[in-house]
Amino acid sequence: MNATPYPHLLSPLQVGHLTLKNRTLMGSMHVGLEEQVGPLTNLGAYFRRRAEGGVGLIVTGGFAPNAEGWVKPLAGRLSNRWEAYKHRAVTDPVHEADGRILLQILHAGRYGYHPLCVSASDIKSPISMFRPRALSDAGVERTIRDFATCAQMAKVAGYDGVEIMGSEGYLIHQFVAARTNHRTDRWGGTFEQRIRFPLAIVRAVREAAGSDFVILYRLSLLDLVENGSTWDEVVHLAKELEKAGVSMINTGIGWHEARVPTIATSVPRAAFTWVTAKLRPHVSVPLVTSNRINEPVTAERVLAEGHADMVSMARPFLADPDWVNKSATGREDEIDTCIGCNQACLDHVFENKHASCLVNPYACHEAEMVLTPAATPKKVAVVGAGPAGLAASTTLAERGHHVTLFEASDEVGGQFNLAKRIPGKEEFHETLRYFRRKLEVTGVDVKLNTRATADTLAGFDHVLLATGVHARRVRFPGSERANVLMYADVIRDPSQVGKRVAVIGAGGIGFDVAELLVHSGGQETFESFAKTWGIDTTAESRGGLVEPVDAPPARDVVICQRTRGRVGARLGKTTGWIHRASVQKAGVGFLDDVAYDRVDDAGLHVRVSGQPRVLDVDTIVVCAGQEPNRDLEESLKAAGLAVTRIGGADEASELDAKRAINQATRVALAL
């Protein structure tokens, strides 16, 4: 009996000589474990977990074929037998767990953050400070040989094949696009000449690695930059790649320098699978689709509607290595869903730290963070059911402790119940669903509508104080007036806010509040998203770009900060630009170097760089950060209880859910 709701997702797929057990591909993602000195054991442990969790095909993060191709100095590369030997610590554990794995060959070209970087032409990229050297004709030939050697070494290392990174604006893409290829020799000029480089690489790789080796090619279907490829050019290249010997084509969307969000949480789910579907009639090799697919039901729909043969997800497997097995056994409500925040994965990589995951702090720390049964099960009270309290109580219960979770309000989730109301942050609902289910599965005794006190907590062996934060109030003449509102009240009921608004504070919450207030309501669709960001929904125009159309904002909003400098400068590394661009599209103004003087009937009186100014607003929303809520701590200690603070109750400065969940999980693993 085949009762699975995911018959397409869970059916096998033949790719070259490999029979894959299902249609899930763990997309390539650099996590920082690639540069381990000696055998890549940590990377092996990380991928083994994903193979055990049922992923059909894994692709590693990018490895350079030579030093010029490094993403950064001393980044992972594979060019000789000694380096190949290190990779056995990756391929062996994956194969032992019945997984299949490809090595991604990534030559960064002008995205290389080092002085050795090269490209088709010496045109600097807007996202690297290093101007690339244009490869000579001999240099191009040598690079092609290096790709072939890398693939050969990948075979020696035990990989089932390679993915050739031909999209996202990396070297191969730099040759393909007229934007970055101004050469006049046989590698530049017409489109036929510009695609000579990728085709030569594919042929050389096939020749070097033989027929029993998968070649996956990541092809950009939508460049989202000026002077990118046209649709006809994309189709032409796809057909030529097939002739050159690729086994399967993966979908790339957007150059890294594109100013269109492609994977952030505000991008609608499966927003770009229609582009893969558009290519399908033109090639006969299997196609992989990608971007913002995080739930089995979405993946199944994409496959059932014929958009692709396989679905690529990278971050969802960071968030939950057991995603496939849970989907296959009717436990999809237990999936720890990737919320597309980038906070612990891509942001970390761009900050030169190891990646992890906001919702799953074990990710990339598999060797170090191990859940073991408690030596002596204790009676533990956790006070506060925000992200910290939820992560701690479920981890403690998993370890065999007897856990009671006290929450003052009528629902679990703490500030996530505010975050989920922000347009573009709807994915936060999934984290709440995950934790609600995990509380049930792990048997935590949840007491809602119960404000814990020292009396309530008497008799517990240990108390974890996860009471979160108090929003910081601001004090100046008039700040007590009825039109000066705190962010939590505004998020719960935006209807009380007037048409002209000043937001005090330009942190994540200030921006979120601005986003909420300019939004005119209604669900974001792919069409409205595409209009805002200027995406051509036919993909026919060069680069897939059209003129953006800004929706009229519901309110006039200005965001203020006291610090001099760029407003919102401390927002996430890879998503801050989206938050800034998104509210600016809605006409939100930014003021820095602001001193707040008073509020009266004329509005908010400020000094901007010392110059007095009246902001003619009818509502002021205070988003001025938070302070720890430790109201209970003294009384608990006085009662002789063992207390450990976690999350915002411990430290409110620069607190976010990533830190709250990570700290809480680690405390719970150690108790």
* DSSP conformational letter for 135: P
Residues in 327-356 at the binding interface with ligand SF4, rule: CB under 6 A = 338-345
Taking Cα atoms as reference points, which of 629, 632, 667, 641 lies closest to residue 393? 667
- Annotated active-site residue 170? The verdict is yes
Ranked by CB distance to ligand NAP, the top (closest) residue is: 507
| Segment interacting with ligand NAP, rule: CB under 6 A, options 177-185, 240-248, 430-438, 509-517 | 509-517
Q: Check 170, 217, 362, 434 and give the catalytic one.
A: 170
Per CB under 6 A, does 568 bind ligand FAD? no
| Residues 6 or more apart whose Cβ sits within 8 Å of residue 455 | none
Element (H, E) at 471: strand 469-471
| Segment interacting with ligand NAP, rule: CB under 6 A, options 52-60, 201-209, 331-339, 498-506 | 498-506
Instruction: Determine the size of the site formed for ligand SF4 (CB under 6 A).
Output: 14
Count CB neighbours of 167 within 10 A.
Answer: 23
Per CB under 6 A, does 466 bind ligand FAD? yes
- How many angstroms separate the CA atoms of 517 and 500, rounded? 10
- How many angstroms separate the CA atoms of 317 and 427, rounded? 16
588 is in the binding site of which of ligand FAD, ligand NAP, ligand SF4, none (Cβ under 5 to 8 A by kind)?
A: none
Are 361 and 665 a contacting pair, CB within 8 Å? yes
| Three-class DSSP category at 469 | strand
| Residues 6 or more apart whose Cβ sits within 8 Å of residue 488 | 418, 471
Q: Provide, rounded to whole angstroms, the least separation between the CB of residue 344 and ligand FAD.
A: 9
Are 587 and 573 a contacting pair, CB within 8 Å? no
- How many angstroms separate the CA atoms of 451 and 211, rounded? 66
- How many angstroms separate the CA atoms of 486 and 473, rounded? 8
Nearest-5° Cα angle at 511, 507 to 514 = 140
Q: Provide, rounded to whole angstroms, the least separation between the CB of residue 561 and ligand NAP.
A: 4
Per CB under 6 A, does 660 bind ligand SF4? no
- How many angstroms separate the CA atoms of 421 and 363, rounded? 27
- How many angstroms separate the CA atoms of 559 and 510, rounded? 7
Per CB under 6 A, does 341 bind ligand FAD? yes
Per CB under 6 A, does 416 bind ligand FAD? yes
* Interaction pattern, residues 283-302, with ligand NAP; x per rule: CB under 6 A: --------------------
Q: Provide, rounded to whole angstroms, the least separation between the CB of residue 376 and ligand NAP.
A: 36
Taking Cα atoms as reference points, which of 356, 316, 256, 349 lies closest to residue 58? 316
Per CB under 6 A, does 562 bind ligand NAP? yes
- Helix, strand, coil abundance in the chain, percent, nearest 5: 35, 20, 50
238 is in the binding site of which of ligand NAP, ligand FAD, ligand SF4, none (Cβ under 5 to 8 A by kind)?
A: none
Q: Select 225 or 382, whichever has its Cβ closest to ligand FAD.
A: 382
Per CB under 6 A, does 508 bind ligand NAP? yes
Q: Of 23, 206, 315, 425, which lies in the binding site for ligand SF4, with binding defined by CB under 6 A?
A: 315
String of DSSP letters for 560-571: E-SSSSSTTTTS
Q: Select 93 or 361, whichever has its Cβ closest to ligand FAD.
A: 361
Q: Provide, rounded to whole angstroms, the least separation between the CB of residue 661 and ligand FAD.
A: 8
* Interaction pattern, residues 489-508, with ligand FAD; x per rule: CB under 6 A: --x----------------x
String of DSSP letters for 86-149: HTHHHHHHHHHTT--EEEEE---GGG-SSTT-EESSS---TT-SSPPEEPPHHHHHHHHHHHHH
Per CB under 6 A, does 261 bind ligand FAD? no
Binding site for ligand NAP (CB under 6 A): 343, 472, 474, 504-510, 512, 561-563, 572, 623-626, 654-656
Binding site for ligand FAD (CB under 6 A): 341, 343, 383-389, 406-409, 414-416, 418-419, 422, 451-452, 466-469, 491, 508-509, 512, 629, 632, 647-648, 655-658, 660
Q: Which residues are catalytic?
A: 170
